[in-house]
Amino acid sequence: MLSRLSFALFLAVLAALPISAGESNSVSRKIREETFRAVWETVRDRYFDPAFGGLDWDAVGRETKPKAINAPTDEAFYESLQEMVDRLGQSHFRVLPPTWIGTKHLNRRGAASAGIEITEASGKVLVWRMREPAVAGGLRPGCALLDVSGTSLRDLRAQIRAQSKGAAADNFLYHEAVETLLTGRAGDQVKVRFTCGAAEELSAEVPLRYSQRERSESFGFMPSMETDFEVKRLSRGIISIRFNLFVMSLLPRIREAVKQAATDGTRGIVFDVRGNPGGIGAMANGIAGYLVSKQASLGVMKMRGTELKFLAFPQDGAFRGPVAVLVDRNSASTSEIFAAGLQEMGRAIVVGERSMGAALPSYIVDLPNGALLQYAAADFVTPKGVRIEGKGVAPDIAVSLSAESLLAGEDLPLEAARAALDRMAPATSGPGNGGITVTGE
């Protein structure tokens, strides 16, 4: 398997496919040597910086090889490989052993789901949205999940955090693992333990049904995935456009929603990309073209021997009013390029939580014995040379969801974005830029 994906999107793909985790087998010396060579040579030949940031990669290989090959345990062997790629000082370089807990918990048992979307706040897994407004037992948005089908979410979080070792995407991995626990075979039920504000624990059995969502087209190594798109009219002439992936099947709807907003008196647009792991990078500048009046840059992707400039070219029917991009800790890759680019050029404010900090495209390659290697295929910087990888996009207005607000039927980040645009927008939309300065090259 060779996939060019962000790590966050790679995890989403794993969650969408019936993947079997590798078994724990003792790795022979021959397989260790083959695995070491595959990791070292892949980095040597494909790392986006041929100078390795001044690091002597040959010397690193000579130093690491005997330690890895003679490691006392399989776990220590893979840890040695991870330490080797960590010397590059980059994210998106990971050696995932066959027994990696992430693949185990992302192994779907079926395509039916409980219809529950989740989020994290104050260290708790909260119900965010539901297919049904409530189910037997009182489960509803704002309730905190404790256990799903016998799996303690606290224990699962600790296990994933230990294996991720602070990686930028570990929150997303945990998020996907919990959502996967809420899937299975149609007609089955998942039992959840939860609390809803009160200290007492409750339980409910939630039926699993097939999703009625549309699916994206397959693109390269990215399989067909469930898509979600919604345009919501908020108060005082502000709208939100929410979508869960940057895929081509959603682009016409996003484009038409923006063009309609430019002519129907809409005063401001909130692009809600919370939980959006990215997708097709070129869509960021494609959408941005309907928001700018001059050619503008969202940033540059630097690959070995070449660069890819994310340029937004002004389009007919562009929206000129104020814009906000709503992000959270699970917004990644193209979502971050879109948010950071518009923020830096002064075309949009960013609202919500700091994003994941996983913007780089990467490849996932098979290693012997069922292990995987992920490596970054490029570096990304904003027009001002800022790297958002490992840092994320910092919001202009920081606000998070909370159990209390969700239980009350409120979406605090969305309301904060709406209120900010309301203050910035003129009484009616017009040919100006709604108080935001648009810059271009």
Question: Amino acid letter at 374?
Answer: Q
Start-to-end CA span in the chain (Å)? 39
Name the DSSP letter for residue 331.
-
Report which of 244, 272, 252 is spatially closest to residue 418, judged by C-alpha positions.
272
Is it the case that residue 134 has pLDDT exceeding 80?
no
Is it the case that residue 2 has pLDDT exceeding 50?
no
SS3 of residue 380 by DSSP: strand
Q: What is the pLDDT of residue 224?
A: 77
pLDDT band at 230 (very low <50, low <70, confident <90, very high): very high
- Mean pLDDT over 363-380 rounds to 87
Q: What is the pLDDT of residue 201?
A: 93
Instruction: Name the segment(s) of the chain with CATH classification 3.90.226.10.
Output: 229-359+382-424
pLDDT band at 165 (very low <50, low <70, confident <90, very high): low
What pLDDT, in 10s, does the model give residues 323-342? 999 999 999 999 999 999 99
What pLDDT, in 10s, does the model give residues 34-82? 999 999 999 999 999 899 989 999 999 999 999 999 999 998 999 999 9
Average pLDDT, the chain: 86
- Asked whether 374 and 92 are in contact (CB, 8 A), the reply is yes
Between 220 and 302, the higher pLDDT residue: 302
Per DSSP, the residues of 230-272 read: EEEE-GGGEEEEEES-B-GGGHHHHHHHHHHHTTTT--EEEEE
Question: Amino acid letter at 346?
Answer: G
Q: What is the pLDDT of residue 439?
A: 33
| Domain 118-155+172-210 sits in CATH 1.10.390 | no
Record the pTM.
0.84
Report which of 51, 7, 3 is spatially closest to residue 305, judged by C-alpha positions.
51
**Residues 6+ positions from 98 with CB-CB distance below 8 Å:** 21, 22, 23, 24, 25, 369, 370, 371
Q: What is the pLDDT of residue 427?
A: 64
Q: What is the pLDDT of residue 408?
A: 94
Q: What does the alpha-carbon distance between residue 268 and residue 146 come to, in Å, rounded to a whole number?
A: 38
- Asked whether 173 and 14 are in contact (CB, 8 A), the reply is no
The CATH homologous superfamily for domain 229-359+382-424 is 2-enoyl-CoA Hydratase; Chain A, domain 1 (3.90.226.10)
Name the token pair of 341. Answer: 């680019």
What pLDDT, in 10s, does the model give residues 403-421? 999 999 999 999 999 999 9
Q: What is the pLDDT of residue 11?
A: 54
- Mean pLDDT over 212-237 rounds to 84
pLDDT band at 361 (very low <50, low <70, confident <90, very high): confident
Residues in the chain: 441
Between 12 and 132, the higher pLDDT residue: 132
Between 440 and 355, the higher pLDDT residue: 355
- Mean pLDDT over 393-397 rounds to 97
